[in-house]
Structure 1
């Protein structure tokens, strides 16, 4: 059974989002009138939204709406055909300020601790600081007793907690979570949600893609509803989930098929 790390520590100062003295602020992060096409299909169609600092924003919508593409765009992995993505005043992401966690974590053929060590090295953490940072991340994710276990032998929930811990290696200010609890059992979902709350309490901002209205209700301050490559509703999460105003969100939350 998946262990829920309720007694795990909050983020200590050396794991909290890092304020970089690079002359650039990150906020707001925004996508402006972005379009993207592939194979003759319009995947994003005038997508626009902004993320201010703090809290959790849930990004919801049917499969194929473009949610994962939006996250990849915010992570700097893809660029729009037209429109813009802006991180503060710049059009290039600030190194280490944004981290993306995929629905299915891709783990290295190393131990649990080794995966975190690799992430710390990639983030440029000095070697003398890595042991303390690794220990802190393992404790935060409730993985201390699994430090020496091969990462690919972890359960689904443990692997996702490792992916989250690994994403925190660079002390990002914006964490993008793409359906992090899909296919997990209830105990594993609770553990991931608990970890997400600790991350936000430590000062990070989270954009969460989820199909789970209950999860959005538990975690999010704000909700965006996406359909056919654009945002059709943007509201406080509690209001959107209880009384959606767009026909698309109404249909989706009522369990009706959207085309």
Structure 2
């Protein structure tokens, strides 16, 4: 039986300059182990792509990284004061304007309302949505809503941005727009950790690939080494997944 989860602590100085480190993390939902003894470190400036079949643990791992799910065993250590934001596959849109969807998040963080609106305008411009600020967020297209979610995340200036299948339900043009923004954010120094079934997207955006299978990390390799290496040595399922024969 796994032991009790250790309390979350700031990352230890000198521990590889990790923004976040997981040690022997276990997450269980009912009788199912969603994550099994996961060890993972993410350092500043990395672009980490999580891949694996449905149910492999990608989404759960992202939620642990963001503090939305607590492990029942193991430890999670974050750099002191680490600022993070997360974008989901289908982001929730408040029943108000696109501008207010961004400004409200800043206001809740303590910004005066006028300042929050000012910074929200800048965030919408950053994701190329400056023409829709007064439209209801719920009337925007799927691609526009995902860019609005990116604006909400970018507005809080996170050191690490977590994304769970951010383009899976979008049309090709919207996918390209969201990918372009992810690349721009990473180029500016933001750390990315994202889950994706789109292996082309992982090749384009990730510098490192973490492959999960049944809640375990079976491979953690530089992107070129992962895709060019003999995946059958990782696992048969990994080989089938990359060949597109396992969803």
Taking structure 2 as the reference length, the TM-score comes to: 0.88
Give the match's secondary structure for 1:119.
helix
Could you tell me which of 135, 139, 154 is aligned with 1:168?
A: 154
- Are residues 1:107 and 2:93 paired? yes
CA contact (8 A) 1:48 1:230 kept: no
CA contact (8 A) 1:32 1:49 kept: yes
Cα distance in 1 for partners of 2:56, 2:207 equals 21
After TM superposition, the structure 1 = structure 2 runs for residues 6-155 of structure 1, keeping only pairs within 5 Å, are 27-88=18-79, 94=81, 97-155=83-141
Q: Which residue of 2 aligns with 1:253?
A: 242
Taking structure 1 as the reference length, the TM-score comes to: 0.84
CA contact (8 A) 2:123 2:151 kept: yes
CA contact (8 A) 1:123 1:169 kept: no
Aligned Cα RMSD in Å?
2.0
Q: Which residue of 1 aligns with 2:181?
A: 195
Give the match's secondary structure for 1:144.
coil
Cα distance in 1 for partners of 2:111, 2:192 equals 23
Q: Which residue of 1 aligns with 2:192?
A: 206
- Deviation, structure 1 residue 232: 0.3
Unaligned runs of 5+ in 1: 1-21
Give the match's secondary structure for 1:59.
strand
Cα distance in 1 for partners of 2:132, 2:186 equals 25
After TM superposition, the structure 1 = structure 2 runs for residues 222-233 of structure 1, keeping only pairs within 5 Å, are 222-233=208-219
CA contact (8 A) 1:34 1:45 kept: yes
Structure 1 residue runs of 4+, over 6 Å off? 22-26
- Spell out, residue by residue over 1:167-201, the C-alpha distance to the aligned partner (whole angstroms, 9 max, x if none): 12221111000000012111100000111112112
CA contact (8 A) 1:57 1:222 kept: yes
CA contact (8 A) 2:89 2:169 kept: no
- Deviation, structure 1 residue 41: 1.5
Q: Which residue of 1 aligns with 2:201?
A: 215
- Deviation, structure 1 residue 23: 11
Cα distance in 1 for partners of 2:191, 2:72 equals 27
After TM superposition, the structure 1 = structure 2 runs for residues 170-189 of structure 1, keeping only pairs within 5 Å, are 170-189=156-175
- Give the direction of change, closer, same or farther, for the CA distance of 1:27–1:129 in structure 2 (3 Å limit): farther
- Give the direction of change, closer, same or farther, for the CA distance of 1:24–1:35 in structure 2 (3 Å limit): closer
